[in-house]
Chain A
């Protein structure tokens, strides 16, 4: 092989790296372009009103996204509501209470949960979680919180609550492992400063671990949100796939991802296909905005710290 002089070698490397990096950015733009192009027939016909219309009837050619946006947001929100405290507690237990050897094993086990394929969660949900929600959780919630409209109406086991629970289980490993690494970044001298002032362990955790970690925890939560918004398989199996906006968390619903997964094979007429692509574009926009939002929180908090 002929030998390049060092200057050529360096600039060659630079151009190759730049080319590959640009390729990735190009890919992102290309996907957006294709989505936009495929969605165009629906965008031009329905306009921005697509977002605010609730009816979705492929047979009569009525397409509105609101029910799916609602389904996606409500399941993700409930999942975060359940997963965030659990993840913070698990991460605190791993980083502050367990001896090093045990903490390594436990964090490995928690991360293994993330390795379980989505479809397996779906099956677990169908055969185990859904009957449990129907027979135990729902009656319990109805008894104690039944005066609230969110906990009224029949529960078949398949619906918003079950989908949210499965989503929560799926994002716990992500949120836990980020929280744990945030907590482990806290310098030892900060914890000792708290101890030296006569803090109990609980006060030390509040003072030296949690309060400087707020930005880290928020970024963990938003990354979990990113996963929950787009999660498809398990949710599709558990949510009931009925495009309704209801108050009750026991009722079936549908998410943006679930309707795409359910209907893309049967979508024959061009308006239906285009509307599914419009939904895809919207889902992409929502995850994009939530990421942007997360970045801005992190920036504001890290300015403080």
Chain B
């Protein structure tokens, strides 16, 4: 997609964001903004803080004992780290898909998809079924599960489980969806399916995806950030980053000279 077709509206913005595990600073002063309805990849060598950074964007990093965060994350102009903001509301507006597929083991496929709605007090069966169908279709899983919605979520294959988790995240309709290496536990066919569906959901959602797979970042993303040791070395249009990086370190990494 060329630059002119991309939305200019900024939906999410990090300002001097820093994160710690105890005394160890994993994320160092990140400043970046994300445009609406784009796919944004974060690449970098392992241990570079990219997952931790992502986990600061929906405030799930702070659920780990002994961690803390400094700086700001603005969602549609509002700082999600503001004291007045309820963290529960933040997470309803910034969804997340994890590295390992994690459907709830005691729940059916249907219940897994709509649990987010149930948490918000929506229990009307027709509404739930409708949302489940829409989201499972967006997650390209509907055809495979429509006849067994009441079987356990964990009875599906790994790739299907991950798409189920994507449907679950989409069901509460968050404007931003974070994905933490969503395909690293999956085989190439399952990966291809997820990359395909990401192109579809981009019409309605802003996606920020951490990936260790540079080809994946190049294939699917509009923008790419390159992280090393908790710092963002470079951020820009993926077409520029992968063909004509400004920084020497980025060039070395994407040409396979380090990392």
Contact = CB atoms under 8 A, between A and B. Distances in A.
Interface string A199-231: 110010001100110100000000000000000
Interface string B145-175: 0000000100000000000010011001000
Query: Chain A interface residue count: which class?
Result: 20 to 34
A305 B105 CA distance: 6
A193 B102 contact: yes
Given A99-B65, A192-B60, A198-B88, A207 B115 contact: yes
B65 A196 contact: no
Contact of B58 (A190, A196, A207): A196
A187 B100 CA distance: 11
Contacts of B100: 189
Interface stretch (B19-27, B91-99, B191-199): B91-99
B89 A212 contact: no
A193 B116 contact: no
Interface string B96-124: 10101011111100000001100110000
Nearest to B101: A189
B5 interface: no
Interface string B116-138: 10011000000000000000000
B210 to A, nearest CB: 14
Contact of A208 (B58, B98, B104, B116): B104
Interface residues of B, number: 27
A200 B89 CA distance: 10
B229 to A, nearest CB: 25
A53 interface: no
Contact of A212 (B58, B88, B98, B105): B105
A191 interface: yes
A187 B88 CA distance: 21
A99 B66 CA distance: 9
Contact of B63 (A192, A207, A304): A192
A100 interface: yes
A105 B169 CA distance: 38
B202 to A, nearest CB: 20
A40 interface: no
Interface centre among A100, A193, A194, A198 (most CB of B within 10 A): A198
Rank and list the top 10 A-B pairs by shortest CB-CB distance, nearest first: A198-B92, A196-B96, A197-B116, A198-B91, A189-B102, A193-B102, A211-B106, A212-B106, A305-B105, A198-B88
Interface of B: 58, 60, 63, 65, 88-89, 91-92, 95-96, 98, 100, 102-107, 115-116, 119-120, 152, 165, 168-169, 172
Given A193-B102, A207-B115, A212-B105, 17 more contacts: A100-B65, A191-B63, A192-B60, A192-B63, A196-B95, A196-B96, A197-B91, A197-B119, A197-B168, A197-B169, A198-B88, A198-B172, A199-B119, A207-B119, A212-B104, A304-B106, A305-B106
